[in-house]
A and B are shown apart, each in its own frame.
Chain A
């Protein structure tokens, strides 16, 4: 294993200690020029980097009200200091949200405020040097942009906005992160984060059709590039082969089939994820989003439905209409875009889906609210639907459900530790340490309520949990997709499962002795 220790579960009550420079270092791998160029970045440190960085900062201060206001409005009250999972897991004080913001704020003050220009020491302002730039690179890649701190900030300051601005500035002086930029480049070149070409994708989908038919006797279609379907399914590419993601995809397929909604994925936009968000680049978020519009037009669909992916849903729900709308060519009777959970939940409410919960009786489930869904989006008509709808669907598929501690769920949920472009092996120490608070809450739920498994609705959460659960003494397959539970419980019309439950007459006749 690696040269660090998995943090120990802590004793209550917890007063987080600080350990200076615990996570000092170089940060994740730096991107290569060939990835950067495709995203519109220089790919190397320009000679006049300082001017360029400050120019970019000035530009962003004029483009984003959030950044502009948040640079001024912090009162250093300390409310956020014990709220970040990376601080809790690493004890590095620069991972306290306000301290992370201050890495930027102290430069802002030096160059953009009266007090910092003339009395830098008094207000903690510093010059922009290459060391400061390196520190930015390191610590702005220890933030998963999960927004938990903003929930607790009396001024509503969202560190994610500052992290995004920092990454955008860094990218403009040739200091981008390899993982995120390479992924965005793959989306442009191949169509998805994993670089899965259309042909391979088609093969996978055909295999899935066979598998599901073998299992249920029902010919559920998993279409690719089929024109004239009712819905375009946008789902994270991990859903096409990673576990437990793919079991979720099977679940969407079964639900849509049962509801008679024909659907297709697009080989050109075979990725719901939008890493443009993580690198804080409006241009790239928009360019990635535009593929969805184009796919919807080309495939002549009436609806767009999103699969289980956290930040993709934030971008879809909150930004898609802005970035790639208006969607006046789609059927206005449905939300645009719609989450697969909204589809499933609505159908359950109307009694259109038959569920056999006993299929999941060997499980006691809990639910991990994914940060981008919880704090950056909504489902359904009412605020908070993003919490109630997934839980309602799980409980429709499963008899045993328990929530984790109240201060670790809903809008106070802890990030899985791998969000915001940090789901990369070169950040494994950070990922494992950052998972500590979520793992503690899960451990409590297993001990107090006998929870066996945890469900999530985000591809990153699922991948991250698969990796970190074993470090904390859990089975790696304890993480499940919500639609995996649906997939297990759903009784499709005409399926083997239906026959088993209802006992078809022919079977009974055959069973009778003929002599």
Chain B
């Protein structure tokens, strides 16, 4: 069983990374032939970095759009971020001080993550407009993440798992020196769901993470009059002989 999990995680992680790399290459290969930033837009590159940071960290557009969705969505994502940071300890032999300190607050992030996800699920079920646009997969993603959070909470606060052994297992994954995994039900569920998430990542709406940064509406500089923008395929149609010259 431990071998199965070790193999599953190695495969899942590879699928996620390779899939994401493929998608990122695909997005960057497709040209953006016209300047289409949604204005008012920054007129400098550093302004664009700031604009994207505001979207990625604060969810600025969503905040403007809908306060409830923002509250639950932001709560979920920020908690997830803390939870992920907290999990770094499983992959670092000597845990650095910041991560040790983080644990004190970090372990409660699983709860806010769960609350955020619950809010999003309730909204998806009870707001008629949001229900209308939801496919089965939209609910399943929320449930998947909720079960991941829940199994984590159970391991930490209800039926403790041997974390030292888990750390042996996860460090073993990194060096391809597979170790035994404590075979409790919560950890097996937790890891199975995480592996499913990683495998599905590049084939799903989780692509919104790279997508956010590749949206030409947000990542372009507003300078079309000052600087001529021309993409690869447009340049071919743009040859001098097609154009009247003074």
CB distance from A108 to the nearest CB of B (A): 13
Is B215 a contact of A156 with CB atoms below 8 Å?
yes
B161 to chain A, nearest CB (A): 32
Q: Which residues of B contact A77 (CB under 8 A)?
A: 62, 69, 73, 130
Contact yes or no, A122 B133, CB < 8 A: no
Q: How far is the CB of B199 from chain A (nearest CB, A)?
A: 11
| Chain B CB within 10 Å, residue with most, of A121, A153, A317 | A153
Q: Quick check: A282 and B234 within 8 Å, CB to CB? A: yes
Asked if A175 CB lies within 8 Å of chain B CBs, one says no
Q: Decide if B61 touches A156 in the complex (CB within 8 Å).
A: yes
Chain B 92-130 per-residue mask, 1 if CB under 8 angstroms from chain A, else 0:
000000000000000000000000000000011001111
Whether A78 and B127, one on each chain, are in contact in the complex, defined by CB atoms closer than 8 angstroms, is yes
**Pair A383/B35 contact, Cβ less than 8 Å:** no
Say whether chain A's binding surface is mostly helix, strand, loop, or mixed.
helix
Residues of A within 8 A of B200 (CB): 115
A79 pairs with B66, CB closer than 8 A: yes
Encoded as 1 (CB less than 8 Å from any B CB) or 0, chain A from 14 to 26 comes to 0011100000000
Distance, CA A337 to CA B225, complexed state (A): 7
Tell me the complex Cα distance, A96–B127, Å.
14
Decide if A383 touches B132 in the complex (CB within 8 Å): no
Contact A158 B38 (CB under 8 A): yes
Interface residue ranges of B6-47 to A (CB < 8 Å): 23, 26-27, 30-36, 38-43
Does A63 interact with chain B (Cβ within 8 Å)? Answer: yes
B168 near A: Cβ within 8 Å? no
State A147–B228 Cα separation when bound (angstroms). Answer: 23
Once the chains are docked, how many angstroms separate the CA of A296 from the CA of B55?
A: 41
**Most A CB atoms within 10 A — which of B31, B39, B41?**
B39
**A411 pairs with B215, CB closer than 8 A:** no
**Interface assignment of A294: CB less than 8 Å from any CB of chain B:** yes
Distance between Cα atoms of A282 and B233 in the complex (Å)? 11
Which of B80-88, B134-142, B148-156, B190-198 lies on the face that meets chain A?
B134-142
Closest B residue to A324 by beta carbon equals B243
Output the nearest chain A residue to B42 by Cβ-Cβ distance.
Answer: A383
**B36 and A153 form a contact (CB under 8 A):** no
Contact B136–A122 (Cβ < 8 Å)? yes
Contacting residue for A73 out of B39, B123, B207, CB 8 A: B207
Q: Are B69 and A79 in contact (CB under 8 A)?
A: yes
A76: which of B42, B138, B224, B246 is its contact (CB, 8 Å)? B138
Interfacial residues of chain B within 52-85, with CB under 8 A of chain A in the complex: 55, 59, 61-62, 64-66, 69, 73
Contact A326 B36 (CB under 8 A): no
Q: In the complex, what residues of A have CB within 8 A of residue B222's CB?
A: 378, 383
B212 within 8 A of A: yes
Q: Are A297 and B40 in contact (CB under 8 A)?
A: no
Contacts of A377 in B (CB 8 A): 39
Q: Which residues of B contact A155 (CB under 8 A)?
A: 208, 211-212, 215
Separation in Å of the B42 CB from the closest CB of chain A? Answer: 7
**Cα of A114 to Cα of B201 in the assembled complex, Å:** 12
Are A156 and B55 within 8 A (Cβ)?
yes
1/0 per residue, CB under 8 A from B, across A50-87: the answer is: 00000000000111111011101111111111110000
Task: Mark interface residues in A250-288 (1 if CB within 8 Å of B CB, else 0).
Answer: 000000000000000000000000000000001100100
Determine whether A319 belongs to the interface, using a CB cutoff of 8 Å to chain B.
yes
Q: Which of B30, B36, B61, B207 contacts A152 (CB 8 A)?
A: B61
- A411→B211 contact, CB < 8 A: no
CB neighbors of B among A372-388 (8 A): 374-378, 382-384, 386-387
B58 to chain A, nearest CB (A): 10
- Residues of A within 8 Å of B164, CB to CB, are none
Neighbouring B residues of A326 by C-beta, 8 Å: 228
A146 CB, min distance to chain B CBs, angstroms: 11
Q: Indicate if B159 sits at the interface (CB-CB under 8 A).
A: no
Q: Are B39 and A386 in contact (CB under 8 A)?
A: yes
Taking a contact as CB atoms under 8 Å apart, the answer to whether B234 and A154 are in contact is: no
CB nearest neighbor in B for A80: B65
Q: A69-B214, A114-B203 are in contact. Are A158 and B36 (CB under 8 A)?
A: yes
Binary flags per residue of A126-169, CB closer than 8 Å to B gives 1, else 0: 00000000000000000000010011111111100100000000
Residues of chain B contacted by A290 (CB below 8 angstroms): 243-244
Tell whether, in the assembled complex, residue A156 and residue B128 are in contact, meaning their CB atoms are under 8 Å apart: no
How many Å lie between the Cα of A283 and that of B244 in the bound state? Answer: 17
Q: Is the CB of B33 within 8 A of A63?
A: yes
- Is B182 positioned at the interface, with any CB of A under 8 Å from its CB? no
B62, B228, B237, B244 interface centre (most CB from chain A within 10 Å): B244
B175 at the A/B interface (Cβ < 8 Å)?
Answer: no
Instruction: Tell me whether A152 and B215 are in contact in the complex, defined as CB-CB below 8 angstroms, given that A72-B205, A286-B237, A384-B40 are known contacts.
Output: no
Q: Is A124 an interface residue (CB 8 A)?
A: yes
Q: Which residue on chain B has the smallest CB distance to residue A115?
A: B203
Docked-complex contact A79 and B62, CB < 8 angstroms: yes
CB nearest to A109 among chain B residues: B135
B191 to chain A, nearest CB (A): 23
Instruction: Name the B residues within 8 Å of A82 (CB-CB).
Output: 129
Q: Complex formed: what's the CA distance from A257 to B151 in Å? A: 76
CB proximity of B213 to chain A, nearest CB, Å: 9
The chain A residue sitting closest to B227, CB to CB, is A321
B135 contacts A123, C-beta separation under 8 Å: yes
Q: Are A99's CB and B132's CB within 8 A?
A: yes
Is the C-beta of B229 less than 8 angstroms from some C-beta in chain A? yes
- A437 within 8 A of partner (CB): no
- State the CA gap A123–B137 with chains docked (Å): 6
* Shortest Cβ gap from B11 to chain A (Å): 16
- Cross-interface CB contact of B30 among A68, A93, A114, A317, cutoff 8 Å: A68
From B40, B128, B212, give the contact of A18 (CB < 8 A): B128
Assess the B65–A152 pair: CB atoms within 8 A. Answer: yes
Chain A CB within 8 A of B189 CB = no
Q: A64-B33, A81-B133 are in contact. Are A297 and B234 (CB under 8 A)?
A: no
Assess whether B205 is in contact with A73, with CB atoms less than 8 Å apart. yes
20 pairs of residues in contact across A and B, judged by CB atoms under 8 Å: A16-B129, A65-B30, A66-B216, A69-B214, A69-B215, A73-B205, A76-B130, A79-B69, A80-B65, A82-B129, A99-B132, A154-B62, A156-B212, A158-B36, A290-B244, A294-B244, A318-B36, A321-B225, A322-B35, A336-B225
Interface positions of A (Cβ within 8 A of B): 16-18, 61-66, 68-70, 72-83, 93, 96, 98-99, 102, 113-115, 121-124, 147, 150-158, 161, 282-283, 286, 290, 293-294, 297, 317-319, 321-322, 324-326, 329, 335-337, 374-378, 382-384, 386-387, 411
Q: List chain B positions with a Cβ less than 8 A from chain A.
A: 23, 26-27, 30-36, 38-43, 55, 59, 61-62, 64-66, 69, 73, 123-124, 127-130, 132-138, 140, 200, 203-205, 207-208, 211-212, 214-218, 222, 224-225, 228-230, 233-234, 237, 243-246
5 nearest interchain CB pairs? A73-B211, A156-B215, A124-B135, A383-B40, A78-B130
* Given contact pairs A73-B215, A96-B133, a sample of 4 additional A-B residue pairs in the complex whose CB atoms are under 8 Å apart: A73-B214, A154-B73, A293-B243, A318-B36
